[in-house]
Amino acid sequence: MKNYQGSCHCGSVTFSFEHEKINSGLKCNCSICKRKAATMSDFVIAPDELSRSGETLSFYQFGTNVAKHYFCNNCGIYVFHETLRMPGHFRVNLGCIDEIDTYELSVKVFDGASL
């Protein structure tokens, strides 16, 4: 297992988790994800496995108001979200982890628009 650390652009929001080597990601075609175009983790992280901090952390909800899309209210960067299908569990924006080049990952498309 490897410890990954990520942050928003200004560094006000940080997160960390442990996972095996990350070789792939996920893109979602729902209305919010296609607009932010982030490459997300294709695995979910349990609430007690994601360490997060930041006084500028805010979230946005829409539709069913179950999923929470977290972002820094200072620089605007989307850092992670709580999932609709597994409330309380997270997917992280892999672009927020400096050591990961999301352009080198194998990326799957998730049909969130159909949820």
pLDDT digits (tens, 9 = 90+) for 80-111: 999 999 999 999 999 999 999 999 999 999 99
Whole-model pTM above 0.85? yes
At a CB cut-off of 8 Å and minimum separation 6, what does 97 contact?
4, 5, 6
Per-residue pLDDT of 60-83, as tens digits, reads 999 899 999 999 999 999 999 999
Q: Which residues contact 71 (CB under 8 A, 6 or more apart)?
A: 8, 13, 57, 58, 59, 60, 77, 78, 79
The rounded distance, in Å, linking the Cα atoms of 46 and 70 is 16
The range of the structural domain enclosing residue 77 comes to 2-114
Residue type at 61? Q
* pLDDT at site 115: 80
CATH number of residue 36's parent domain: 2.170.150.70
- Total domains in the fold of the chain: 1
> Quick check: 22 and 100 in contact, CB under 8 A?
yes
How much of the chain, in percent, has pLDDT values that exceed 70? 100
